[in-house]
Amino acid sequence: MMLRLVVGLLFIVVPVLELALLIKTGQLIGVWATVALVVTTAVSGAIILSRQSFTLVGRTLEALSEGRAPVAPVLEGMFLMVAGALLLTPGLITDVAALLLLVPPIRRAIARWSVDRLLRRADVTVRAYGEGGDPDMEWRPHTPAGAAGGPVIEGEFERLGEEGQPRRGSGSELPPPKS
């Protein structure tokens, strides 16, 4: 309910602020200079977006070819899509937000924060199975008081040694999960 209210207010407040800022900017530097500024930021952002998209596709394919889940490239791709949508929206505030999302360190920090926040709200149990088929590790990152329990994610794991060779081990060798 609160999220709907916030999103609803954003759809009202942001366009009003954009309009006010465009009017004020037009008064300060002139109408055509303001239009040129909005068009220049949109075109520049679109060029940067297209270049980063190709890099991201390459990273995704690389992760898939190495047998890794392309979680980070997919998350970054999602934020690039948001940046593209913001660039299509005329206005200076949305252009600045989009350009910030086009900066890889900022985009990665926002992605990490988002995933961390999502995991803190989730009620998940992770079980890892080693050689004997018995659970070597069970980890519940966050359990709200009175929760009945969330989904259980089960899987097998194989540790890689320093030279990339498989090394079996028990869950007790894992560092403690972040709380």
Tokens of residue 101, six digits: 């999302």
Q: How far is CA 14 from the centre of its chain?
A: 22
**What pLDDT score does 61 carry?**
86
Tokens of residue 19, six digits: 């309009």
Nearest to 169 by CA among 137, 123, 126: 137
Q: How far is CA 159 from the centre of its chain?
A: 27
Nearest to 91 by CA among 3, 9, 24: 24
pTM of the complete model: 0.58
Phi then psi dihedrals of residue 168, to 5 deg: -80, 145
pLDDT at 29 over 90: yes
- pLDDT tens per residue across span 110-132: 888 887 777 777 665 555 555 55
- pLDDT tens per residue across span 43-99: 887 888 788 778 888 888 888 888 877 777 788 888 888 888 888 888 889 988 988
Indicate the pLDDT class of residue 159, thresholds 50, 70 and 90: low
**What pLDDT score does 174 carry?**
46
Q: On the CB side of 56, how many CA atoms lie within 13 Å of its CA?
A: 21
**What pLDDT score does 27 carry?**
95
Q: Is residue 95 within 8 Å of residue 84, measured between CB atoms?
A: no
Sorted by where each begins, the domain ranges of the chain are 20-120
**Coil, helix or strand at residue 56:** helix
- Residue showing tokens 């992605």: 111
